[in-house]
Structure 1
């Protein structure tokens, strides 16, 4: 009989997956990192290769996978508009076919399974902050819908597997998360602003920068993942996972300029279609069910993330930056 928990992480070479791999290895788990490297990179997990409890498998979860595991964290999916709009059909297939394959695996081997859902299921919300009971305001045919509706359908599949097959599921809705190993060129606002500031290029803001976001540091989010997987069987979610502190995009840009001592100027670009104007989680359920709330403040988290990107720039690994989302 095995003593260590055998854990599969789909998207394990991505930003969140690599941090989760480290966290689970520190607990003594056996970690199977599964990734097709569509957006994940070997650099994120190369320091783990050679660890006795870490295994890397190149695989696309749009295809079935037959392994023996106790737990599954389904994180695989491009998560930034630049990446998920590059191949929107593939994004939808990863969300839906990938979910079906991971759910099928969990059903076959009796594993419990965590779904990395997203605050994008709320769309451009008309309720603020967003509680889990809010059904959202999503454009089903817009340029963001491959991701938004893909993740919404994945949640449907998870809860149908729970009702129909009595599968133990955990669904977490992730709000904006940042930290080391964020892709430097994925167009996300924190990484884009930091790289622009460190290279003294103009910081690009959509609209006037009055739209708001809530930023959760990666270590806080990973603790929420682990905490949710450890909840009793009846706790399925969905549960909002994010930092409820709310900032305008303009405030974020100003703080990053100050922390980097940058000479960057701020320039404004037109707002993209369906860009949410407000985004802040109601984390009452997470506090109650997981006994969890974020601990890392924005200044502390930005400082750690800036150090990471300074290292990437020094190594010549950062070139150009897309306008941020």
Structure 2
């Protein structure tokens, strides 16, 4: 009888080949053997502490190396971080999430750290989030037009004491424009990069409002521009007026509330600059005219234009020999923006050095509107300055700014706007140069 080979493996089952004989089944690899597995398990069990340390070291290595291989320098999705606000000009609301206490954005339904990390200088956008107080007023609305046209996001704060919503109607619906009805004498919390502070009634509230806006600028690290006035020179004993002239102001006169209020506002602005290292700019604005002026605001240009259109006498106070300089609103807006974007604090005179007496101004209005308009003389008002003319050498040298629109060029544009508004055609309320 032929001999048979008996397989004596672990399962005790023979393996039959095609020839009917039995051969031994190949053994499993040593790595997979049960005895080896048991031995490794026992070894690891005895070295638990070492394994824990190895695991911690491996996890730490992966965590620290992750940013090096990330496609961007953004924070991990799902986190919200609280970055320190960078220096002026390096933070972009459109890039860095629009500001706010938590610098994150909704991206794909997740709150992310967005792009709060460092951004190459060449890729940073120049658009900013800008607050304009008094932005519904005459000068403010023209400034808003220019800022929106430059691609910035603008927030207007106005209590509509003298401003009008119609001045800003062209921006309603624009996602980069916001309008808030608010009085600056009350605190306001916003996140912005620049503040143009134009809101200023002729009362002590201009000091309170300036304090509030300076506090806001300090809190968020915004650059602050104060629109002061040539009235800080009072009835000047120096002609023309340079920025180093301290003025000749009656502190208890009928005009003092506005004059001294602006002088105090300048003082506060410089105090914040020195004590809190706040970036500030100061503009001293001289007489300005143009479309969107309040028709009955009492200013000499608007008075003359409205009176001539209504066929009323042009009222000249005193002998009409007192002088003023008149700049068109577009020139002023360019000066304000150059000042804000420049590196000099100021103060800077922003005005047209072209000097006119009140009688000469009345004659220009006659030539433009009605040659037959009559001139009526009235008693002069108290503390009315005899001369007012800016020296703009400093603005020319340091800002590269000077006015370009003459009175005879700019006045017809204002007259056209007034004519439409006085006679009921509101289609032209938004007239600009």
**TM-score normalized by structure 1?**
0.91
How far did 1:263 drift? 2.6
Alignment partner for residue 195 of structure 1, among 285, 301, 306?
306
Structure 2 partner of 1:221: 332
Q: Is the 8 A contact 1:198 1:262 kept in 2?
A: no
1:194 & 1:150 partners in 2: Cα distance? 29
1:34 & 1:274 partners in 2: Cα distance? 32
Structure 2 partner of 1:9: 132
Structure 1 runs not aligned, ≥5 long: 79-83, 85-90, 318-325
2:284 & 2:147 partners in 1: Cα distance? 20
Would you say 1:305 and 2:414 are equivalent positions? yes
Mapping for residues 311-322 of structure 1, pairs under 5 Å: 311-315=420-424
**SS of residue in 2 equivalent to 1:46:** helix
Cα deviation 1:164-216 (Å, max 9, x = unaligned): 00000000000000000010000111111011111211110001110000000
Alignment partner for residue 177 of structure 2, among 46, 54, 68?
54
1:73 & 1:184 partners in 2: Cα distance? 24
How far did 1:142 drift? 1.0
1:275 & 1:76 partners in 2: Cα distance? 23
Alignment partner for residue 368 of structure 2, among 232, 241, 259?
259
Alignment partner for residue 286 of structure 2, among 171, 175, 200?
175
1:195 & 1:104 partners in 2: Cα distance? 40
Structure 2 partner of 1:29: 152
Structure 1 partner of 2:379: 270
2:340 & 2:307 partners in 1: Cα distance? 37
Alignment partner for residue 204 of structure 2, among 75, 87, 92?
92
Runs of 4+ with deviation above 6 angstroms = none
Higher relative CO (CA 8 A, sep ≥ 6), structure 1 or 2? 1
1:263 & 1:245 partners in 2: Cα distance? 26
Mapping for residues 23-172 of structure 1, pairs under 5 Å: 23-78=146-201, 84=202, 91-93=203-205, 95-172=206-283
Cα deviation 1:126-149 (Å, max 9, x = unaligned): 000000000000011111111000
1:287 & 1:316 partners in 2: Cα distance? 40
Q: Is the 8 A contact 1:200 1:263 kept in 2?
A: no
Q: Is the 8 A contact 1:32 1:54 kept in 2?
A: yes
How far did 1:316 drift? 6.8
Would you say 1:210 and 2:321 are equivalent positions? yes
**TM-score normalized by structure 2?**
0.69
How far did 1:36 drift? 0.7
Rg (Cα) greater in structure: 2
Q: Is the 8 A contact 1:10 1:34 kept in 2?
A: yes
Alignment partner for residue 398 of structure 2, among 256, 277, 289?
289
2:322 & 2:379 partners in 1: Cα distance? 13
Q: Is the 8 A contact 1:123 1:148 kept in 2?
A: yes
How far did 1:314 drift? 2.3
Cα deviation 1:90-112 (Å, max 9, x = unaligned): x212x211111101000010000
Q: Is the 8 A contact 1:206 1:269 kept in 2?
A: yes
1:261 & 1:22 partners in 2: Cα distance? 31
1:300 & 1:254 partners in 2: Cα distance? 15
1:99 & 1:200 partners in 2: Cα distance? 40
1:240 & 1:299 partners in 2: Cα distance? 22
2:160 & 2:255 partners in 1: Cα distance? 21
How far did 1:43 drift? 1.7
**SS of residue in 1 equivalent to 2:337:** helix
How far did 1:262 drift? 4.2
